[in-house]
Amino acid sequence: MSTIDNRRRALVTGCAGFLGSHLSERLIADGYEVVGIDCFTDYYAREIKESNIARLRDEPGFTLLEMDLSSDPVEGLLEGVDEVYHLAAQAGVRGSFGDSFELYVRNNVQSTQRLLEQAARNPVGSFVYASSSSVYGNAAASPTPEGAPRQPISPYGMTKVATEDIAGVYHRNHGVPTVGLRYFTAYGPRQRPDMAFNRFIRSGLAGKPIAILGDGMQVRDFTYVADVIEGTRAASARGKAGSVYNIGGGQPVTLLSAIELIEQLVERRIVVEHRPAARGDVRMTGADCSLAADELGVTPSVTLAEGLAAEVEWMLAATTRGAVTSPVPASIAA
């Protein structure tokens, strides 16, 4: 692959997903050539992912490679690549229990190891990878600093711990400039259809009850997608190799409080139906973002009210296009 007009080249895995598509667009806007990788798993509908990258497909600086990093040949994949953003992963806390755990190991751990192996053979300027607040489990303190014990309570969270550990191995042994980002409950336009706000807004706009798993007093540090992308770009530019940073919204709220905000935005009362709590869901998340502020120079700038308003606006447009699926019971994904 040859660069276009000597642009810097970035490789983005999971480019058709929620965060990957936003990041790819940001990189294109910043003048990068972007090589996007996605294997279009059936975790949710392919047409949703295709709509995420519709604008990117029209960009001459964007190339899509449809491939499975856990099994397809990856030799030479990073030749000529300046920056790696590894966001591809098997998502979902509840689905990681049982027989499907093998899929999480393959897509979260094995894929990461194979990409790191290529980075060891073809040095890159930065290797930023996605971790999760799920690594903390039920943290003893909130806000939670990066030095807190990692004690996941779901197989999904365990694979993210393994992802951090394998990145550390390649940094120590081969000098791969890995920087991990523990994302705290990202939301906003293009949010995955299985995630809470997507489901809740759909239900609210349709005048249907919201089904939640648990009592609704779970606390989450919701992080707007633009703040996630800003932190991710800063991690590539200024992150210390071998480090891990929290990327959070800085405004932890209860689930019921968030639903009240959604009620105001959709201008109707929403009936909440409580169902049994799901295993693997932590009680509280809250990011101590002081390290990201000090070393990456980023702090969250979008309030929950502002971010939810943007997601509602996007959802209204998606509803008009007929690109919305039926709501189903939700817990909070990390």
CB atoms < 10 A from the CB of 220, how many?
Answer: 28
Residue 99 identity = D
Mention every residue, 6+ apart, whose C-beta is less than 8 A from residue 10: 27, 32, 33, 34, 35, 81, 82, 83, 84, 85
Q: State the catalytic residues.
A: 156
Helical segments of 122-194, H only: 155-174
Q: Tokens 């800085």 correspond to what residue?
A: 250
**12 touches 127 (CB < 8 A):** no
CA 266 – CA 204 distance, rounded (Å)? 7
**268 touches 206 (CB < 8 A):** no
**CB half-sphere exposure, 103, CA atoms < 13 A:** 15
CB-based burial, 268-301: b 16+ in 10 Å, e otherwise: eebebeeeeebebbbebbbbbbebbeebbebebe
- Nearest Cα residue to 187 out of 38, 330, 40: 330
Where are the strands (E) in the chain, listed by range?
Answer: 9-13, 33-38, 62-66, 83-86, 126-132, 178-183, 186-187, 210-213, 219-220, 223-224, 243-247, 253-254, 272-275
- Nearest Cα residue to 112 out of 1, 6, 37, 46: 37
Q: What is the CA radius of gyration of the chain?
A: 19
